[in-house]
Amino acid sequence: MTKLKGLFFLLLGALLVDFALENALPSPVFKLFKFELGKLPIFVIVYGSLGIGFLSGWLVHLLKVKRQKKAAALAAEKAESRQASQEQE
């Protein structure tokens, strides 16, 4: 299974490098509020967009997990306090 993963990542890397080499031409000039931001190769734009998408998805997932852990801790705390009050009666 490890060899299969290695082969998969090798093929994926080869595809990414091939994509970068074939799309190294500069894109039109980027402008934001009439300021020129420069020319970037197309593959930088694509890889940057992909990276931003992965990072934003990872951040949303982390926030969701944190919220779930907090809710579970509150539920456990309520259960403990309920159990302690029942034992006192």
Residue 62 has pLDDT above 80, yes or no: yes
Give the model's pLDDT for residue 11: 93
The DSSP-derived string for 13-50 is: HHHHHHHHHHT-SB-SPEEETTEEEE--BHHHHHHHHH
Query: 4-53, pLDDT tens digit by residue?
Result: 888 988 998 898 888 888 887 777 777 778 888 777 788 888 888 899 99
Question: Which stretch of DSSP H or E encloses residue 70?
Answer: helix 42-88
How does residue 89 score in pLDDT terms, banded at 50, 70 and 90? low
- Which pTM does this prediction carry? 0.61
